[in-house]
Chains A and B, each alone.
Chain A
Amino acid sequence: MNNDVHTLTGAYVLDALSEMERRAFEDHMAGCPACHQEVAELRETTVRLGTAAAAVPPPQLWHKVHAAIGNTRQLPPFSVNEPARLRSKRRASRVAVFAAAASILAAAGLGVGWMVTNNDLQDELAQSQTELSRLQALLSAPDSKVVKGDLQGGGTATAVLSPSRNAMVTMLRDAPPLSGTSVYQLWYVRDDGPPVPAGSLASSNGAIPSNDLTPAQGATKLAISVEPAAGATAPGPNIVAAISLV
């Protein structure tokens, strides 16, 4: 157990970590049953602190909440995007990477740098000159990161992102054909909030550029769903990919 990371249990349950540190810690915790237990207990402790602040809300709060849930679809239970499954697969390597990343981050206050060998990716993914140059710009950023996942029914999705360039390109390749007005819709998935739409693509091959990562803040995964049309504000039941960003 890395003692330095382990002492973050307190700061973690108090939500007193930066986004990157939080992810690094969660990654550590996934392979640390002792941390898990301690976090559970300290979490229940903070709940007492929270409950002690109880105050009656104004009556209109219920009316607003009630009206809102009438228009809000519930999430499907975990299926393809089960985080535990994604997490356990690559845990060992990522624990080390993130432990290092967290200390770099602490020293520099910057995002984590990923070294990328980009030749294969470019060959594999860049379909057009625009995509290629966009990709090249992203891949040459010191903090570029590549994540990849398979689509249900075939094909792959690969995303290249760079916090410093504030941009991401997500490419689909050989995805199953769409019918009618359907699109592949990309989402930023957060642990603590609703998924945020991140662009869509109406074909089996191509790229979804994102020129602003602000809405991705706090995202732990990318998800792709098939929606009946572009412009969905919440994912429907047909989720075809979930790709961990951490």
Chain B
Amino acid sequence: MRERAQRSREPGGPRPATLDDLLPRVARGDEVAFEQLYRHLSAPIFGLVQRVLRDPAQSEEVAQEVFIELWRSATRYSPDRGSVQSWAMTIAHRKAVDRVRSAQASSDRDTRAARAETARPFDEVTEVVAGRMEREQVRRCLGTLTDLQRESVMLAYYQGYTYREVAHLLDSPLGTVKTRLRDGLIRLRDCMGVTA
């Protein structure tokens, strides 16, 4: 699936290598390998960041930060801490969430809202064909969760809320939300057949 997820239109050229092949080359400063890595990861990373932040201009900024970080810290990636994709998506999610929280911290919300309104409409939110299978599976597996598990997981992951905020929004005790997040993910893991 990862193979097909990479069909973004630019940069062009053949795509021979997997992420596992590419990363050690990127770590040695190989910009060609980095370009290929970008092609593998640009749609998942940009899509995730945009899902959390919504604002297209900010999403682009944060996605750029993510790729620069991947470039900088490729030297420190270690396979025993997870797959390359997982490493990259973890960085992407955290950066998106950091942006949400720092914006909150500096009570920047109004400016953000204003910016979002004036930002040019995003006409290129093309669904990546290759993401379709994952989306189907995710949709199906999310359907196996209880409503409360699903709501909690989605609020936390896609909206970037802390579990405290989730508890507040769902008017539930903190302990319940903690448990739901974990149980929900465990159920998703089993449904998707994820191993690590």
Contact = CB atoms under 8 A, between A and B. Distances in A.
A59 B131 contact: no
Interface residues of B, number: 90
Contacts of A50: 44, 47-48, 89, 92-93, 157
Interface residues of A, number: 54
Given A7-B178, A52-B134, A55-B46, A42 B72 contact: no
A42 B182 CA distance: 8
Which secondary structure dominates chain B's binding surface? helix
Contacts of B130: 54
A10 interface: yes
A8 interface: yes
B116 interface: no
Contact of B8 (A15, A57, A75): A57
Interface in A1-46: 7-11, 13-18, 37, 40-46
A52 B138 contact: yes
Interface of A: 7-11, 13-18, 37, 40-62, 64-66, 68-70, 72-78, 106, 192-194, 217-218
B166 A16 contact: yes
Contacts, number: 232
Contacts of A8: 178, 182
A16 B162 contact: yes
Contact of A56 (B8, B71, B90, B94): B8
In the complex, the 7 A-B pairs of residues with the closest C-beta atoms, listed nearest first: A10-B182, A10-B181, A40-B196, A57-B46, A55-B47, A54-B131, A54-B47
A78 B182 contact: no
B126 A61 contact: no
B13 interface: no
